[in-house]
Amino acid sequence: MTTLQEPGTVETEKMSAAVAMNSALDLAMAKDPKVVLLGEDIADPMGGVFKVTKGLSTKYGKDRVRATPIAEQSIVGAAVGLALGGYRSVAEVMFCDFLTLVSDQLVNHAAKLRYMSGGRSSVPLTVRTVVGNSRFGAQHAQSLEAWFMHTPGIKVVMASTPTEAKGLLTSCIFDDDPCLFIEHIHLEYTNKEEVPTGEVSIPLGQAAIKRPGSDVTVITYGPAVPWSLQAAETLAEEGISAEVIDLRTLVPLDFETVLESVSRTRRAVVAHEATQFCGPGAEIAAKITEELFGELMAPVARVGGTYAPIPFAKSLRAIPNADDLVAAVRHVTGR
């Protein structure tokens, strides 16, 4: 497995995140015949609701790309069994909201089996799911990553670009422990970029500094990365230099990069689309405060979703944006 190389050193092709993930799955299945996919409508001609698995059942057969009934509990339960049996299973749960139906398999089985077997039972399972689809209202749009961050034994991953979607998904597939790979619907087909066409991986647990800065550190991930970078541009015009860190992996979380940055800027804002109350930002803010309390110029601020179900009505807003982050940074910098 090779890690991501410097731009210009490998062959690339312009891809969306959906196409990049399709490439990751394709290459993983070609490399290891034990990689199998399960999920609703994932076989051709549908190729998945978001087309991430399009063409794979035609290429590898429907024994390895299995379209299942609408039964999320059975999908993940079967995937856990396959992983215990020596396969590398990739289960698609159409929306993050439906993880509530599979939490028993994930929380009580997949996450615990290595611990309950003295380390002898690995569970190389990847569960792919999607957040951010507010077009269908409150039951198809929840960002529940904090639930699974709270569960020891599950790795939680959320990419923000096509290249990272490919590299992180590859790392999840070949990890020997269960991984929850969360995609955002608005990133599936937007922001195309040049992505390596060959096999590429990005190590889990390594954050990336997407924009260097000196006045404040913005810690973010997934769909909040684009609007955090947009906010940083606005702040730069006001003379505020914001460093933007993309966590990429929520578990394991790269606190080393976060704390090193905040120790320099001495101010921090955590931004995400998940509910602010008890969201991932709460743990990050607490850790920064515990480690750097005497060095901080201001309390750590958080920008997150409203503590309410996601509304269907377009006139109502529960998800934060760049303007909210700009306001938070102005507050902590006293500008």
- Give the end of a domain, one of 159, 174, 196: 196
Distance between CA 111 and CA 147 in Å, rounded?
A: 13
Residues 171 and 261 in one domain: no
The reply to whether omega before 252 is within 30° of 0 (cis) is yes
Residues 192 and 237 in one domain: no
Residues 189 and 293 in one domain: no
Residues 177 and 235 in one domain: no
Residues 179 and 216 in one domain: no
- Give the end of a domain, one of 139, 167, 196: 196
Residues 105 and 219 in one domain: no
Is 240 a residue whose pLDDT tops 60? yes
**Residue 2 within any structural domain of the chain:** no
User: Do the Cβ atoms of 281 and 270 come closer than 8 Å?
Assistant: yes
Query: Which one of the listed residues 109, 140, 184, 272 is annotated catalytic?
Result: 140
Distance between CA 228 and CA 39 in Å, rounded?
A: 33
Mean pLDDT of 148-167: 97
Helices 162-173 and 17-31, packing angle to 10 deg: 30
CATH assignment at residue 33: 3.40.50.970
pTM: 0.94
Q: What is the DSSP letter of 142?
A: -
Residues 264 and 184 in one domain: no
The reply to whether 140 belongs to the active site is: yes
> What digits encode the pLDDT tens for the residues 245-261?
999 999 999 999 999 99
CATH assignment at residue 271: 3.40.50.920
Radius of gyration over every alpha carbon of the chain, rounded to an integer in angstroms? 20
Domain of residue 314 covers 208-333
Residues 50 and 150 in one domain: yes
Residue 138 is predicted with a pLDDT of: 83
Distance between CA 56 and CA 61 in Å, rounded?
A: 7
- Give the end of a domain, one of 196, 230, 248: 196
Our count of domains for the chain comes to 2
Full DSSP string of 4-50: PPPTTSS-EEEE-HHHHHHHHHHHHHHH-TTEEEEEET-STTT--TT
Residues 192 and 231 in one domain: no
Mean pLDDT of 165-170: 98
> What digits encode the pLDDT tens for the residues 63-117?
999 999 999 999 999 999 999 999 999 999 999 999 999 999 999 999 999 999 9
User: Do the Cβ atoms of 284 and 270 come closer than 8 Å?
Assistant: yes
**Residue 202 within any structural domain of the chain:** no
| Residue 270: φ, ψ to 5° | -105, 130
Residue 46 is predicted with a pLDDT of: 94
> What digits encode the pLDDT tens for the residues 5-48?
454 568 999 999 999 999 999 999 999 999 999 999 999 999 99
**Residue 6 within any structural domain of the chain:** no
Residues 41 and 159 in one domain: yes
- Strands of the chain (E only): list them: 12-15, 35-40, 65-68, 88-93, 125-131, 155-158, 179-184, 193-196, 208-211, 216-220, 242-246, 249-251, 268-275, 301-305
